[in-house]
Chains A and B, each alone.
Chain A
Amino acid sequence: MLAVAAGLIAAGCDREARRYKDLPASANRETGVRVTEFQPGASQQQAPVSSPYQGNAWGIGEGKRLYSAFNCAPCHGVNGGGAIGPPLIDDKWIYGGQPDQIYATISQGRPDGMPSFGGHVPTQQIWQLVAYVQAMSGQVEASIATSRSDDQMAALPESRQSRQKPVQTGHR
């Protein structure tokens, strides 16, 4: 009886423990990607993270190849015009048009249909897709963006897209 009581008391001790220093102080700084600019207090600006392939024609070309290889087209449209998924050639971004936000969208997925590709698609290829997605709305230099495809295209190639100014719209 006494042993059982002692055991119960001992088990309760951890419940009451106050763990002030479980994580290093540096872990208290938020470094994750921000999906929205709507924040308490003054808005925190993040240093923009750009895709390593932002200025690289090969990387954007690879992104274009992967866009069809990984079946982005059935939802976002062959030329990015949108279908059951949102279009990618306009200025509207539900979850933000910054490179790290696009990366997070591809890697983690988004509610209402966007699958998470993290772990399935290697990091390098996600960044190539990010660079291509940016090229679709004219976010990269025309001299670097992919030009016309070999097959018939209903839309202008990425290198001739007019430069859209990204607007974050939030979820519909």
Chain B
Amino acid sequence: MPHLQSILHPAGIQAQRISELWWTMFWICTAVWFAVAIAASIAIVRGRRAAAADTSQSTITRNVAIAGGVSLVALFALLFQSVVIGRALDTLRSPDALRIQVTGNQWWWDVQYDHPVPSLRVTTANEIHIPTGRPVVFNLLSTDVIHSLWIPNLQGKIDLIPGRLNELWLQADTAGVYRGQCAEYCGLQHARMALVVVAEPPEQFERWLTANRAPAPPPVSPEQQRGRDIVERGPCAMCHNITGTLAGGRTAPDLTHIATRSTIAAGSVPNLRGYLAGWIADPQSMKPGNRMPPQGLRAEELQAVLAYLETLK
């Protein structure tokens, strides 16, 4: 199964609480449904016979009072639990939390790991790596319209609003790869604005972070060299950044370590050579309306670009 996205498989304390609330509501609602169904069945079976019988006013009053009382108790119990869990979701505050900036764009996620030394900042897209067992806080921003970040296995959703900073606190306790998605309709390709969250043990996370601080490796073969030339001199460099090359655009996903990511086009398709080729050749067929224009590369140019992109580990 590719990356599981489910509130019923919590991987952290917040998602655990949300799923507890969900199951409580599920069982109470199930009980209410069965009670109503049974009462309705009895009424149908008794039918006219009961209608003809003369039920006293006090019996009716008593039955309605019991049903109303049970409903009120159940509703207040759910309200109480909902408030308690809502407050508990907000208690995860820690000074040594890992802070990650997530910026929503139509229709992809920009992800930045800050560092006091600017050259050691890590920028990636559509894939967030987090350590397990440590609180993580996302700084949520948007460049265009309102988006919403939802990783059901880890936490509830919070909106990304232009001109406003929102925070989403969560902690992953179980290592794994979880799918998240935009949960606020944001335009044509809202449905294909997904992301992958990789929760991994702290030492593995540190290795990933260190590897991603490095600039792009230089091309080796002549074909890869030609691929880099096309990326730098052609249209790619106008929007995409590849640290260590002349490509320094900031309006599209950072490609410095594109080959390490598992998906392209914001979780739309797997990051395989065939999909990548199709994407570069005709992005408007795979994800109509997205901001990447067709490039008009010749076949051998496309192959060279692919050969180069595959070296960006």
Contacts and interface: CB of A to CB of B under 8 A. Distances in A.
A120 B293 contact: no
Interface string B54-93: 0000000000000000000000000000000000000000
Interface residues of B, number: 14
Interface string A64-108: 000001100000000000000000000000000000000000000
Given A69-B239, A70-B238, A122 B296 contact: yes
Interface in A99-125: 119-122, 124-125
A124 B251 contact: no
Given A69-B251, A150-B162, A122 B294 contact: yes
Interface in A107-157: 119-122, 124-125, 150-151
Contact of B234 (A69, A120, A150): A120
A21 B297 CA distance: 34
B291 to A, nearest CB: 8
B162 A124 contact: no
Interface string B211-241: 0000000000000000000000111011100
B162 A120 contact: no
B251 A120 contact: no
A125 B249 CA distance: 15
Given A120-B234, A150-B162, A125 B293 contact: yes
Interface in B237-261: 237-239, 249, 251
A88 B276 CA distance: 39
Interface of A: 69-70, 119-122, 124-125, 150-151
Given A120-B237, A122-B295, A124-B293, 13 more contacts: A69-B239, A69-B251, A120-B235, A120-B238, A121-B235, A121-B238, A122-B235, A122-B293, A122-B294, A122-B296, A124-B294, A125-B293, A151-B163
Interface of B: 162-163, 233-235, 237-239, 249, 251, 293-296
